[in-house]
Amino acid sequence: MSRLIIEGNHRLNGTVSINGAKNSALPVLAATLLARGTSEIHNCPLLSDVAASVRILRYLGCTVSRSGSCVTVDSLGLCRSDIPDTLMREMRSSIVFLGAIAARTGEAHMSFPGGCELGTRPIDLHLSALRQLGMEIIEERGRLECKVNGRLKGTTIALSFPSVGATENILLASVTAEGTTSILNAAREPEIIDLCKYLSRCGARISGAGESAVTVEGVDTLYGCSHAVMPDRIETVTYMAAAAITGGSLVLKSVNPEHIATVLPAFEEAGCNIISSDGEISIVSPKRLHRIRSVRTMPYPGFPTDAQAPTMAMVTVADGTSVFIENIFESRYKHAGELMRLGARIKTEGRVAVVEGVPRLSGAQVDCTDLRGGAALVIAGLAADGITEVTQIHHIDRGYEKLEQNLCGLGAAIKRVE
């Protein structure tokens, strides 16, 4: 089992380039199944979740290769419509393959993605929407057996919550459906826009991407194309929090400041000086961070739930008390207990966490509880006195490319020990 050994109290300074977004690369890779021929996906981050998507594509019969940050997928050889349980378990977001496989092959067989570290993660919205498009779905003993008689049929689908994954599944299922599909209360995340850009380049007819009402006019066939994945907005926030907690200064390149427009004010409230321009953000942090009055996670364009843990780590050493209200996932404070091992003062109750800033953290052994919670522990370790040992780092490898190498390049002292 790998772990990270962090020697704290090194200021971060310098420039870092942000990678392509995991949460965009994964649905785009699933979407390549729909495109006859070859798609080149540029700016594809090197992550274990991306590797899991590639394994699924290869299992299904696609030819996939990687050269640098470009993943090339040829879906011509697609010959299966099932995903084995082991591959489904590797990555819970593999459920996004459901819409694409069923649309392309007329059937899909897979297990439920299962429970998860963020609490129960139901897929009822996905299944209800796909049923409305005409998919027959039998749920039996943890398995999904799906069949399409003829072609899926466009309809109006009103989501009771703007679920990112459900919106993606509907898009994947409807782009080649018969007739028009309207998605009401669709997720508006930038990753949805990125997926629609890829699909549109392949020949899909989508309007309203990034808005609450999205319209898809089904087409007969999609063709492969070339697409560059958008920058990772959560990786951006993670490096900003890492700089802030160490009192450092960073320039982040290859970013889209607009995507984190509701996060930047929180960093400014914490006393950071932020200048953003086209594709770049610079952050200069104060000697001691101030508290952030309140952070409420919301669907986009609100404060992203994925940025909650890194931001919480940052304010553990702020001057004053910060309050978090987690509105997206029911159980997303597991990192709080681990941060407390480092000396943070946090009280959680239900959806609320109250963080009373302390002057200093001290190194300890902590376990990653999930991807963003793991990043929060690394951030805290950067500012803790002495040595912090972070275990269960496979969670971090799901979503951060070369995190410790990048941080070391900025002045941190981190070793990965196998």
Task: Provide the binding-site residues for ligand UD1, judged by CB under 6 A.
Answer: 23, 26, 93, 121-126, 161, 163-166, 187, 191, 304-306, 328-329
CB of 170 to ligand UD1, least distance (A): 11
**Closest Cα partner for 394 from 119, 208, 117?**
117
**Closest Cα partner for 227 from 205, 197, 254?**
197
What are the structure tokens assigned to 259, written together? 């995507």
CB of 379 to ligand UD1, least distance (A): 18
**CA dihedral angle for residue 307, residue 310, residue 316, residue 322, rounded to 10 degrees:** 0
Q: Give dist(CA 49, CA 338) in Å, integer.
A: 24
CB of 241 to ligand UD1, least distance (A): 16
Q: Supply the Cα-derived Rg of the chain in whole angstroms.
A: 21
Which is nearer to ligand UD1, 81 or 305 (by Cβ)?
305
Using Cβ positions, the residue closest to ligand UD1 within the complex turns out to be: 165
CB of 230 to ligand UD1, least distance (A): 12
Which is nearer to ligand UD1, 163 or 285 (by Cβ)?
163
CB of 36 to ligand UD1, least distance (A): 25
In terms of DSSP bridges, do strands 222-223 and 35-36 run parallel, antiparallel, or are they unpaired?
Answer: parallel
Q: Give dist(CA 272, CA 78) in Å, integer.
A: 50
CB of 144 to ligand UD1, least distance (A): 13
Prior bond of 359 cis (ω within 30°): no
Which is nearer to ligand UD1, 191 or 367 (by Cβ)?
191
CB of 49 to ligand UD1, least distance (A): 8
Q: CB neighbours (10 Å) of residue 301?
A: 15
CB of 296 to ligand UD1, least distance (A): 14
The catalytic site residues sit at 116
